[in-house]
Structure formats: C-alpha cells, structure tokens
Structure 1
Amino acid sequence: MRNKWAILWLLVVLVVGAHQVRFWRSARLDTDVLALLPEDEQAPEVGAATRKLADQAGRELVMLVGAADWDSAQRAADVVKVELSREDSPLKASALDASSLETALELYRPYRDRLLTSSQREWLAKASPEELGGTALMKLYQPAGPKLTDWEADPLGLWPDWWAARASESTARPRDGRLWLSGEGREWVLLAWHSQVSAFALGDEGNITSAVARARAAMEAQVPGSRMVSAGVPLYAEAAASQASSEMSTIGIGSLAAVLLLVWLTFRSVRPIVLVGLSLALGCAVALSVTALVFERVHLLTLVFGSSLVGVAEDYGFHYFAARQGRPPSERWPLMRGLLPGMVLALATSVVAYLALGVAPFPGLRQMALFSATGLVAAFLTVACWFPLLDTGELPVTSFATRFAASLSRWPRFTHTPAWWVGTAVLGLFVVGGLWRLGTRDDVRQLQNAPAHLVSDQRELGRLLGLPSPAQFFLVGGDDSEQVLEREAALKAKLDPLVTQKVLSGYRAVSDWLPSRVQQRADAELSARAEAQAVAAVAEATGEAPTRARFADDVLTPERLLASPASAAIRQQWLGRLGDSHFSIVMLRGLNDPSVLPRVAEVAQGLEGVRWVDKTREISSLLERYRRLMGGLIVLGYLAVLMLLVARFRRQAWRAWVPTVLGTLVTLACFGWVGEPLQLFTVLGLMLLLGMGVDYGIFMLEHPGDNSAWLAVALAGVSTLLSFGLLGLSATPALRSFGLTMLLGEVTIWVLTPCCRLPSGKDVS
C-alpha cells in the first residue's frame, strides 16, 4: 500500500512535469490589472465595455516627439522612426498620419450630403434662398486652393465645417504629411506604433521599453534639445512584468534560501535539505499547472503571491524531520502514521483559509487561492508519500536542534498570577486604542504601482492631445444599432451645455461619425432642399446652369464604417451586440477635476438606455463591499475553527485558538497606531492567519511535552515570518499590506502559542 501511494503520486508528478515544459515554452502570463478585478454583477456589459477599451489599447503605443521648432521636431521624429523600424524592433508603425485622412475622405464622400453638424442643421432650416445663393456664389468665386471636394459636390461649403468638428476631438492636425500639434513651448510630431509581441510575456524577446529607450537616446544625441513623451499599455505591462519578476526572485529565492539554511542548521544533513526542497518545488509546480489548466492565463501577481507559499509548505517536512531526529530508520512509517492526524488537521485549516479567498468574485484572488491551496496539498502529499520511502539513513540529533527544542522549557506560560493579568490588561488597552484609531481605504489603485515616469508621461500626453478618459464614460444601449445611435444623439444634446460651460472639453461618440439612419435621411433631405435653392440662385445670377452632384442612394451603415480603416478612431467604442442588446461607448475629454464627476453623472438621469460608468469608483466600492463581506467571514471562520478544535481537543481547544485571535487583534491595533488603513488585502491576510496560526497550537496539543513538536513549530514560524516578511517588501501596495499583516500576525501568534501550552504531564482530554 505504501509503494502504491508513492507510485500514484509519481505518476501525477510526471504529468505535471510534462505540462510544465509546455507551459514555459508558451507562457501566457497576464499583467493587466483589470484581470484581477470582478465583473460588474448587475451589468456584465460594463465589463465588456472596459475590456473592449483595454483590448484596443493592449498593443498600442503613442508618442509625441517635440523640439523648439518644426524642422527640428521633424528631424527628431525621423530619428525615432528609423530606430524603431529596425528588423529586430518589437514595434511596427501604425497608419496614423495625414494619409489616413484620405482614406476617410474616400469612405465618406458618397455620403457627404447627410453629414451635418447641429449648427449646420439649424442654419439650413432657417436660411432664406437669397442667403443660400449668396453663400454659394461666395464659395464659387473663392480663390483656388486646396479643397476637400469640388463646388458641385458641396456648393455651400458644408463639408469642411463637418470635418473641423471631427478634428476638434484631437489637437493634432495634418502638416507636411505628418500629424502636428503645438504646446508647452514646443512643436510636436505625433507617432503611433503597434507592438508585434505580447507585452505580457516574460523574457528579453521583444523588449519594448528598451527599444523606446534606445530611440530616445539616439534622438537626443542627433537632435539636441528634443524630447519624447510616450505612453501605452505595453510600457505599463513590461514595467509590471519586470517588477513581478524581480519580486518573485526576491521573495521566492529568498524564502527558499532561508528555509534551506534553517534545515541545514537544524539537521546538518543533505537529505532533509533535498527532500524539503523537493516538496517545495513540487508544491509550486503542481500549483502552477493546476492554475494554468483552470484559468486561461496565470496572472503575474499570482506568482508573486504564490512565491510566499514556500514559507508555509515546508511545515510538513519540518514536522516529519523534527520527529525523525534521533530515531532509527525502521520507525519511519510508524512515525508518519502518528504525525498524520495533526498534519491533516493543519492542512485542512490552511486549505480552507486559502480557499476562502475565492469567495469574493475576484479572478485574481481565485487564482491565488487555487494556487496556494493546491500547492499546500501537493507539498503535503510529497511528504506523506515519499519522505518515509526516501529517508533511509540515520538522522542524529544536532546541538542546534537540542538548544532550540530545549528553549520551550524557558518559555513563559500563561498562569493565573497578578503579573500575567496586568500584562493582559496592558495588551487589552493597546488593542482597544489601536482599533479605535483604525481607518479604512478601498482604492483600486492599490492593485498596481506604475513607475512615476510612465504616469507623468501619460498625463502629459493626455493633456497635449486632449485624450478622453478610459475610466469614466457613458454606456449607451438599445434594441438595435439604430436605437443606440439615436440615444447617443439625445445624450450629446445634454452634454453640449457642459462643454459650453467648460465643465468638459468635449466628447467622442460613434454617432459623430455615423449618424442614425433617420438622421442621415433627414439631413440628406435638408441639404438637398437648401443646396437646390443655392444652385438655382447661382444659375439665375450667372446665367449658367450648374448642377448639384449626386450622392449614394443608401445610408452609411455601421458594418460599412467598421470594415473601413477610417473607423480606427471610434471602433473601440462600438460594442455591437451583447446578449439581446446593442451597446456603444461615449467617451469624455477634460475630466481632470474629480469634483465635476457627480454633475456629469446627472446627465444620464432620465435618458433611457444610458448609464454613467465610473470604473474607478465602482471597483473601489466593490473592494469596500468585499472587505466587509470577508470581515464577516473571518468571524464565522473563527467560530468554525473553534468548533473543529473543540471536537478534537475538548476543553483545551482554547490553547490553539486564543493565540490566533490575539494575533489578529494585535495586527489590527498596530495598523491603527501607525496609521496604516484597513483594506481588502489586509482582511485577506487575516483570513490566512486564521488557517495557518492554529497549526502551531494544533501540533503543540497533538504532541504535548514533545520537544520535537516545538522544534518543528519554531522552525515553521521562523520560515513563515521570513517568507511573508519578504512579501511585505513588494512594490504593489496591496501585496505589501498583505505581507505586513501576515508578518505582524505570525510574530504575535508564534510568541503566544507556547505561552498557552499544556502544563507538563497533562494531556488534551
């Protein structure tokens, strides 16, 4: 039977090994912070809208290359284009230049008569024949120059004004075959690039950040005084990947080195080092394979979080070898049978605590929960199935282990003495005072920590280009595309006063480029009537017989527009059919002052099918809601664990339970005293404290008076502190808060657990 379980686990490990080879050859590691966040429970279309905006920008990189004068700016732009157009470059130039205007002109020219601005409609509706004729004559005799179309196709010169309104969505203008803008004392050339590789893959292949840095260095060397401002998801993704890779090395390798050093000092044998290292490696490998099979992509933060698993998964190996010291090899299997009840109970509490993270509908948390739970189970199975089989040699007791184990007798134990009650009162005052000062903060920006220079460039580029905000927008829905466009028009009518009052600098809607069918037909009739009067007036004044050009008989449809490269500017805003409805996004420009958001949100009131979306606020509200939910689950979890402990240890169960409760309260009190706010990831750390903290008490109660149990608990506590202490060094605020929570809680629990041990000679009955 022993060999049977060992062979079965070996087969599982071989399958995992094969999967690991395939996984790392084509690793799809996600760095997108949105992947960590939950879907909107009431409106899944909001999640679809956010993903559409994010997917569109996922490989796009935008640059502004500037200099003091236009000629220098053009030279600088040429240097950048040469550097980024090399064969080994991970970037490819996007068709964002003056030639893209020609593509759009060709698409819209047959529909010119039904493309009117609101002011043009108002003027054409009330203009007299004389006024229309005078305008047409003026346009006819205008000096020759570059025009969008000839006089017959646009006798009143309506089209240039329509294009001017579209051009107002961006400050960039065509100039010398480039896109140009002027601002902040410089002339700028706008460049756009498309990443040819995934920015979410680890490794040096296709390093976009390095390519941009080389281009910047070459530009500054060849055109002194020039400047480049760049922004895009690929730069953020690579920064996140680099940070996560560094943290995985620091936390994972640091934890592993610390654990193996402890093993060597305690056992002075290579065998425990190899076997404990094997259990940790297999735990992480199985965890990664299971997570990759369940989820489409593994998030980098999952790996960072999972690297702290080293500080927990080695506990089972510690308990085995601590009990194995000084015993003959023949007692390996009976020893394991004696350890299994306590190990299984400890595993169950830890796994339940990890899986509790998956209660909240956060894909990122569910990944972390699955990774950690399966990793612990795999480490446990490695210890239970293989350690007695592979551990065949002698394992003498070392002086380090003897001194460590003997320290239990010198450790203070709680007794009913005045000194202990005074200490308890002082601790109670500390806890109450800290909890009174404890505040909360639920902010989605805790989930990432972008480099300051990227944030600065993003803000400057957005300010110069007048880009719309991707975090706040209006979601417009309808039964079909026609109704969506009509509702967009109603929304724009209510937004126009805010633009006039400079609450907003503008907006960008699909209906600006694609009016509804009803609007197109109405505009075509209006322009046909007005232009017929204008042409007749010109014929009467000149004696000639000019004719108005003919236009397309049908209307411009969403399908025709989206199939054309001319739709690049608004394609991301057209969601199309989602379920039984159609949706589009109206984006806003100039939302720099958070205080105006409530006023903008009021615009959606009373408009059917229109919803205001403030993704930053919504996710922050979800973080708050699930912080409260998980806080309630912690209370229920403590009660459930207490019931399990009582079932096993009867009246002595409090000895394993109270240290964990105090660890939680002391951690929260420390946060309150130092001004560290309570957030969701703090609460999640407390949830894990519940699962792992009681492990120490369980082993102390399972083996009362056994110094080897205290040795294992001490080693497990120190390694866990090192592991989660390193997690507290993470640059990601959420993970740092989680690590600090675990660090403070584990220290408290580790110190208090031996204080609650059983008196000598007493059992758990």
Structure 2
Amino acid sequence: MSSLPSRAAVTLWLAGLLIAALILGLRGEMATDLGRFMPDPGAEAGLPLDVDAGPGARQLLLAIEGGDAARRATASDGLADALREDPAVAGVHNGRGDFDPEALEAILDLRYLLSPAVTPERFSREHLDTAFAERRDDLSSAVPTMPRELIPRDPTGELLELGERLRDPFGDATRGQHGVWTDPAGERALLVVRIAPEAAGLEEQTELLQRVDREFTALAADDLNLLQAGPPAIAVESRERIRAEVTAFSLAASLALAVLLLVVFRHPHPVWLAAIPLGSGILAGAAVVTLVFGHLHGIALAFGITVLGVALDYPLHLFAHAGRRAAARVAGELWPALVLGAGSTALVYALMAATSFPGMAQLGLFVLTGILVAAAVTRWVLPALLPRGARERGLPEPRLPLPSLRPRGQRAGLGLLLVAVIAALAVLLSRDPFPWNDQLTALNPVPEEAIALDRELRDALGLPDVRHLVLIRGESADAVLQAAHALDEPLEALRDAGAITGFDHPARILPDIVTQRERQAALPERDTLAEHVERAVRDHGFQAEAFTPFLDDVERSREMDPVTPDSLPDGPLRQALEPLLLAPGEHSAAGHERAWIGQVLLRGLSDAGAVSQRLDADAPAGGAEIGLVDLRATTEAMVADFRTAALTRLALAALAVTALLWLLTRDPGRSLRIVTAVAAGLLLTTASLLLLGIELTLFHLIALMLVIGLGLDYAVFLGRPGAMEPDEARRTRRSVTLCALSTGLVFALLALSSLPVLRALGLTVALGVVFSYVAALLLARPVNPSPTPEAPGPGPGLLRSRKNPTP
C-alpha cells in the first residue's frame, strides 16, 4: 500500500469515528427499560405491560435496627421529616400521622365527590346525631380523631374516610408503642419512601439512596443501623456490584492480555494497536443502531460488546503473520481469509438484524456493523498506524510454543474428536426437556440476603404483591376508572374467599364520573340539611350557626364539576393516584400508546388461578380490557421468546453460512471442514456445561454466539490454502494459537466472578475457545511435508525457505 492510500484510509477512518461520535453525542439515547428491548407479550391480549411503571417500582423500604424502641422511633421521625424535604421524594410514611386530615386540606372542597361514605343516609337525622356525638368527643379528647378547626366544616368526617382509603395499602403494618411502624417482633422501625416520577432513573435513585444514608448518619446514634430494600435499592446494588466486578476483571484481563502480547511480540505497539479495530467497531455499531432505531439499548450494547470480542483476533492475525515483513503486504495476503471469517460471522448477525424482535434486531445490527468495521480497519488502517520501522520491516517474530501435530497424531486426534462429538450429541439428546433456565433469579446479581430482606420488610408492612397485578386498559381515564369500580364486587368476594387479603385500585382514590354524579345526587338540599343539623345539635351542646361552613360546602358540592385526574390538586391523593393510573405517554406499552392504563394491586395473593377465573367470569362489560398479569412469568416469557427467536435465527444462519463458505471458497471439502469444526466446538461446549450441572440461561446463549464467531475465525484461518506450506502453516498456527490463548485467558478470568452473568460468559467462552481451537486444528488439512535436499523436484524457493525457516 502506498503512502497516499494509507493516508486516505486513516483520514476516512478518523472522519468515520468523528461522525459516529457526533451521532452519539447529538442523538444518542441509552434505553434501559426491558419493554424497549423485548416485545410486549401482553400486547396480543390487549394488556400492555410496562415493567418499569409498576406501582412498587419507585418504592424504597427502610428499616432502622439497633438501640431501643424509643431511639428507633425518634430516628424514624427525624429521617421521615428530612426526606419529606427532598425534591426526589413524593412521600414518606412511617405510621406516625400518615394521611392526617391536615394533610388533606387541599382536597377539602372535593370531599363529597370523593368520599366512599357519601350516601343519602349519611345526612339523615340519625347519622348526623351520631356524627355530632363523635365530634363532641373530639372536643374533649387529648388526641382527637379530627382537628377541632375542621369540625365546623366536616362534622360527618369525610376527610377521615379519605384518609382511611389512603392508609389502606399499609393496613397490615404494625404500629409500635411509640406510634411508628415496626416489624412484628418490634425490633425494627419501618418506613416507606415513594420516589417521585422525575427521579425514577437509576442515576437519580443512586443519588437519593446516598442522601438517605447521609441524613440517617447525621441524626442517628452510633448503635443504630439503616437497612434499605425495595426495587430501587436492589437495582442500585445490582448495578454497583456489576460495575465493581466488571471494573476489577476488566483491569485484570487488560493487564494479563498486555503482558501476554509483550511477552509474545517483545514490542509495545501490538498492545495498544490491538484495541483499535474492536474500539472502532463498537463506536460504529453504536452509531448505526442509534441512527436506525433512534436509541441504543443498554442490554444490546453489553451483549454486543461481548460478541464483538472475536474482532480482537483480527489484529492478532496481522501481527503474528507480519514478522519481519511489510504490514500492508501481509494485510493484503490475509484479506481473503479475513473476508471469509468476518463475512460469515456478519451473515449470522445480519439475519438477526432482520427480525421484528427489537432487542435482537439491535444486537444483530450492532455486531454486523462492528465486525465489518473491525475487519476493514485491520486491513487498511492498522498497517498505516504502525511506526515507520515496523510498517516497512515488520514486527519481531512472535515467540510462542506451537503444538506439534504430525499426520498420525492428527488422525488419532480426529478419531477422539469424533467420539467426543458423538458423546456430546448423546448428552444433548438425553436432556428432555432441555435445561433452559429463564427464571430471573438465574440472571440476578443481587445476593439472596438482599432479596430476603426485601421480602421480609414487604410482608411486615403488608404491601401489595409485586409479582401479580390486574391491568386495565381503556380509551380514557374515566373508562379505566369505571372498570376499576366495577371490580369492587368480585375482588371483595375473592377477599372473603381467602384468595387475597386486600386490594387497591385507582377508583378507590378517584371515582369515575358516574359515581361522582351519584354522590352529588345523594347530597340533600340546603334547607333539608339545615333542618337536620338544627335538630342534631340540640342534644350535643353545639350551636347550629357554627355549622354554616358545612352547609355551604354541601351546597357548593351539589353543583361542582366532576373531579378528573387533571383537576385533582397536588397532595396525598394525587400522589396515591399517579402510580395506579397511567396516562398516554407515561407508559411504553407497544401498540397502545394512546391508551390509559389502570393497575389493581393485590395483597396477600394465595390463589392466582381463582383470581384469574373470577376476573374472566365477572369482568365488567364496556370498552376497557382487564386481565391478571404475572410480572415474573411475563418477564420470563420475554426471555424465553428472545431465546427461541435467537435459536431460530442461528439455525437459519448456519445454512446461510454454509452456502456462503461454498460460494466464496468453491471448495466443498474446505467448507465442510470449517462448518464441522464450528459445530464440534459448539456441541462440546454445550455438552460440557450440561455435564457440569449448569442450566443454560440467556447469558450462556450470548456466550455461545461468541463461540460460533471464534470457531469460524480459527477454522477459516487454519484452513487457508496458503497455510498448507510449512512456513505459512507455522505462522498461521501461531496466530490462531495466540488468538485462542488471549481470548481464553480473558474469559477464564471472568469465569472466576461471583456474578452469574460474568461467570456464565466466562466459563462458556473459555470452554468454547478450547474446543473450537482443538476442533479447527484437527480438521485442518495436513501440512505439506517440508522438502529435503534429496526429495524430488524441490524448487529453489523451497530450498531457501528450508535454510532460513521462520521460527
């Protein structure tokens, strides 16, 4: 390659990197919600699911332990007061004064439309007599149920009724002797923190948890300890554990790889140059996915970078072959094999990119782009980046012991390989059903102790089940509220039957318009109510004129416009409604972007089948669609769907790659050897995992995709026509051995991780490297014997090669 094409290649490469960086900087959006990676399995049934919008997704659970009960209660009150001032917090509840009437003054004017107790009997002489007796007791009590200043406006106690509705989700919580929530044993003070929607991101939650720790440290004694649980705490701990282990293992792997390359090449340039094709591929893949999809999902990025690990082999092939030769010429000689290997791998992911499965399409496009860019950078850019001396005279000959493989040993090895493959097939066929593990616990990096703490605190507080909920979809908010209201009767029947212990839904906070109109109709005319009040106050020592505000409020409520989600004022009722009623734009339900979503929470669910059957039998007529959703089962179905789609695409890709190999090589024997080597490596790796008692997860599948790419790379290079000659065979075996050693070293380190995701990736790829390398080596065509001076017909070139062999 002349200097001008080299400069042109580097210029185009730099321009491409700049464009990719601009795309990511200006349009880059990193998605993290599962609903944008996997299709919505509930959509076909008309029940969209937005996992991140669940009412419990923003619920932080806190427990204070240590010290005595009084100090725990004091710390609970202090922490609750401090967190209520935090803009990222929508509400804090610790059992002390939760939902007291003073906090409900913002909705005082709306109480007769919202209170479930409003009926014609509510304003009868008999009921008013009872109500005034209770208010008289409040005046003489040291701890009144209603503040004295509200008695003239609300003698019937509608605010208390609304407070009970708000307290209902925590109805099973234990209130200790000091008035705050405790666990049943009384050894922990408990709090529930509801995070504001605008602070629902992982970064914002991380910062909030840090502020919670600081506030607690500032006010608590040394003998008190704060525990955090709930989805926000679990998500933050999960990310921190992953980040810590990934950082540690990345540093260890990078150091080990750098040492290996320095030992092999005795030169620093291969160490940093080897990362350029892979880095370029990652940047280009991220930019192309962002352009096509408008965002890049974090899962696709993480999996894509893992699968793109095969691109690290490309520069190593170049460096290992370049010994004392011009790098540009060597890159040209290797280009046909590089095209064959990279093209075959790219074809696999091109088929994935063509699927309608959003996450798989992103993963396929990312890897497809990255592989092609990495191969092109290795071919045209990398030689030009070498210093002038290395570019023209090559690098030092790599020092790496090579396996000795004589024809007799190769034939014996092939026999052993055949036996191993047959045994592997037997292992796979004997597993019925195949041990796929789609459970989220298999993918969860959080320790079991954290999950157990979350479950323990949730049970102590009587919080709704986070696994099951009833979803309602309607064309308007009122349609959803009407459907939720109609569920009261079947849900109460289920509670009476013991299938659930309680429930909550948006219509218990904000009634539908029809129900509000019925309550308005139950309000008496002013004259009638005034007469009833005058008679009721006589026996309880009140003056009738003191209750003029009560008469004014009732009269005004008779003509008031119904309350809607938009007109509901800020305060505890609005905060309670927001997670239960999602407006269009507040959820990511594919195909239902204009729908309103209502969520019915179930407490103490013991019989999901009975709930589902009752809902099917008694679902209210109308435009809304209702169904019970098992969040865990639904998410596991997403994982299973991804796995099934990936396996289907891989099967199609195997056929396409076989056809491509034959088309490019025009050598059926070579194509068959390559495909057989890849299949053998894949079979032996999978069977080994099963023999180790491992159930395969989504992470194992992603790792097996990388094994396919590595197997193709090894088999293609070892099967090059030029690799049959002794000198070139040594260089090729050395380059493939170096690739296998470097990849195996990195992933063997990952296999030591305590995190399921890293351990699965590490162990699978490490095994895959060994089996794919051995299979490719055994299935390569035998090397032509080295000529000797007595051998007939040795050409002068061969004689020179024999006198000065490449080490």
Q: TM class, shorter-chain normalised?
A: 0.7 to 0.9
Matched-pair contact (CA < 8 Å) for 1:485–1:511: yes
1:245 alignment counterpart: 243
Match of 2:565 among 547, 558, 582: 558
Match of 1:235 among 230, 233, 247: 233
Q: Give the Å deviation of 1:511.
A: 0.7
Match of 1:660 among 670, 673, 678: 678
Matched-pair contact (CA < 8 Å) for 2:407–2:782: no
Cα distance, 1:422–1:511 mapped onto 2, change above 3 Å: closer
Q: Give the Å deviation of 1:102.
A: 4.7
2:112 alignment counterpart: 113
Matched-pair contact (CA < 8 Å) for 1:114–1:524: yes
2:604 alignment counterpart: 590
Q: Give the Å deviation of 1:163.
A: 3.1
More deviation in 246-255 or 346-355? Answer: 246-255
CA distance in 2 between counterparts of 1:540 and 1:672 reads 80
Is 1:314 aligned to residue 312 of structure 2? yes
Is 1:323 aligned to residue 290 of structure 2? no
Aligned amino acid, residue 779 of structure 2? C
Match of 1:615 among 631, 636, 645: 631
2:703 alignment counterpart: 685
CA distance in 1 between counterparts of 2:398 and 2:514 reads 90
CA distance in 1 between counterparts of 2:682 and 2:428 reads 12
Match of 1:429 among 416, 423, 429: 423
Mapping for residues 338-353 of structure 1, pairs under 5 Å: 338-353=333-348
Cα distance, 1:372–1:255 mapped onto 2, change above 3 Å: farther
Mapping for residues 363-378 of structure 1, pairs under 5 Å: 365-366=360-361, 368-378=363-373
2:689 alignment counterpart: 671
More deviation in 234-243 or 750-759? Answer: 234-243
Matched-pair contact (CA < 8 Å) for 1:64–1:191: no
CA distance in 1 between counterparts of 2:416 and 2:475 reads 71
More deviation in 175-184 or 107-116? Answer: 175-184
1:625 alignment counterpart: 641
CA distance in 1 between counterparts of 2:188 and 2:257 reads 58
Matched-pair contact (CA < 8 Å) for 1:77–1:189: yes
Unaligned runs of 5+ in 1: none
1:743 alignment counterpart: 766
DSSP-derived class of the 1:561 partner: coil
CA distance in 2 between counterparts of 1:78 and 1:758 reads 77
Match of 2:498 among 491, 497, 502: 502
CA distance in 1 between counterparts of 2:363 and 2:780 reads 33
2:62 alignment counterpart: 63
Mapping for residues 36-185 of structure 1, pairs under 5 Å: 36-40=37-41, 42=43, 49-53=50-54, 57=57, 61-65=60-64, 71-77=70-76, 80=79, 95-96=91-92, 98=97, 101-102=100-101, 105-117=104-116, 131-132=126-127, 135=130, 138-139=133-134, 142=137, 144=139, 145=141, 146=144, 147=146, 153-154=153-154, 156-157=156-157, 160-171=160-171, 180=181, 183-185=184-186
Q: Give the Å deviation of 1:655.
A: 1.2
Aligned amino acid, residue 382 of structure 2? F
Unaligned runs of 5+ in 2: 585-591, 786-807
DSSP-derived class of the 1:469 partner: coil
The size of the alignment, in residue pairs, is: 738
2:801 alignment counterpart: none
CA distance in 2 between counterparts of 1:464 and 1:432 reads 50
CA distance in 1 between counterparts of 2:79 and 2:519 reads 45
Is 1:13 aligned to residue 6 of structure 2? no
Deviations 1:533-580 (A, max 9, x none): 895386289499677623422222221116555311221221124545
CA distance in 1 between counterparts of 2:88 and 2:596 reads 33
Q: Give the Å deviation of 1:305.
A: 4.2
More deviation in 729-738 or 39-48? Answer: 39-48
2:576 alignment counterpart: 569
More deviation in 715-724 or 190-199? Answer: 190-199
Per the normalisation by structure 1, the TM-score is: 0.83
Cα distance, 1:443–1:394 mapped onto 2, change above 3 Å: same
DSSP-derived class of the 1:352 partner: helix
1:644 alignment counterpart: 660
Matched-pair contact (CA < 8 Å) for 1:509–1:587: yes
Is 1:262 aligned to residue 260 of structure 2? yes
CA distance in 2 between counterparts of 1:279 and 1:91 reads 45
Cα distance, 1:492–1:10 mapped onto 2, change above 3 Å: farther
DSSP-derived class of the 1:610 partner: strand
Q: Give the Å deviation of 1:359.
A: 5.9
Match of 2:717 among 671, 675, 699: 699
Q: Give the Å deviation of 1:270.
A: 2.8
Q: Give the Å deviation of 1:385.
A: 1.4
Aligned amino acid, residue 335 of structure 1? V
1:605 alignment counterpart: 616
Match of 2:741 among 689, 714, 718: 718
1:413 alignment counterpart: 410
Cα distance, 1:324–1:461 mapped onto 2, change above 3 Å: same
Q: Give the Å deviation of 1:339.
A: 1.3
CA distance in 2 between counterparts of 1:241 and 1:614 reads 25
Cα distance, 1:373–1:533 mapped onto 2, change above 3 Å: same
DSSP-derived class of the 1:188 partner: strand
More deviation in 377-386 or 747-756? Answer: 377-386
Match of 2:381 among 373, 383, 386: 386
Per the normalisation by structure 2, the TM-score is: 0.79
Aligned amino acid, residue 745 of structure 1? G
Matched-pair contact (CA < 8 Å) for 1:91–1:193: no
Deviations 1:325-351 (A, max 9, x none): 243x3xx44432221111011111223
More deviation in 206-215 or 662-671? Answer: 206-215
Matched-pair contact (CA < 8 Å) for 2:84–2:92: no
More deviation in 740-749 or 234-243? Answer: 234-243
Match of 2:650 among 620, 628, 634: 634
Q: Give the Å deviation of 1:25.
A: 13
Q: Give the Å deviation of 1:490.
A: 1.2
Deviations 1:265-322 (A, max 9, x none): 3332233334324434444444455556666766665565455467422211122222
More deviation in 1-10 or 739-748? Answer: 1-10
CA distance in 2 between counterparts of 1:689 and 1:208 reads 41
Q: Identity of paired residues, percent?
A: 23
DSSP-derived class of the 2:446 partner: coil
CA distance in 2 between counterparts of 1:235 and 1:68 reads 24
CA distance in 2 between counterparts of 1:561 and 1:538 reads 33
Aligned amino acid, residue 601 of structure 1? S
Match of 1:448 among 433, 444, 448: 444
2:798 alignment counterpart: none
